[in-house]
Amino acid sequence: MSSRVDSINRIIRDFETVPGVEGAALVSADGLMISSALPEAEQERVAAISAALLSLGEKAANELDRGELNEIYVKSGRGYTLLTSVGENALFLVLAKADAQIGLIFVDMRRMADSLLEIL
């Protein structure tokens, strides 16, 4: 089991080396932190808020007949907060700089989400 946790931690930490990325985390769908490489954040609150954001995004997409949710991005003054679901039980959170190539990061996130889904 330890090697499984190690694999997850490695993927999360490795994602920080993607250009423009400042931090990454894997959060359970019910809002608990699974693995985190986030700078200076209140981990528990971030995990809970991320899960709630993804859940509300799904409700909005569903209510507006937009189909199944793929990703959420929140753009703010100092950068981006990016979320994508990892199967039905988890989500992948990434922080990116204001000048990051968001399109490219989402491609990498989708690939990592697939890898994480195999491990979970």
Q: Which residues bind a copy of itself (CB under 8 A)?
A: 38, 40-42, 45-46, 49-50, 52-53, 56-57, 59-61, 63-81, 95
b/e code 60-96 from CB counts within 10 Å (16+ = b): eeeeeeeeebebbeeeeeebbbbbbbbeeebbbbbbb
Cβ closer to a copy of itself: 34 or 81? 81
Distance (Å) of CA 44 to CA 61, 62, 83: 26, 27, 16
Question: In the bound complex, what is the minimum distance in angstroms from residue 57's beta carbon to a copy of itself?
Answer: 4
Closer to a copy of itself at the Cβ: 18 or 84?
84
CB of 61 to a copy of itself, least distance (A): 4
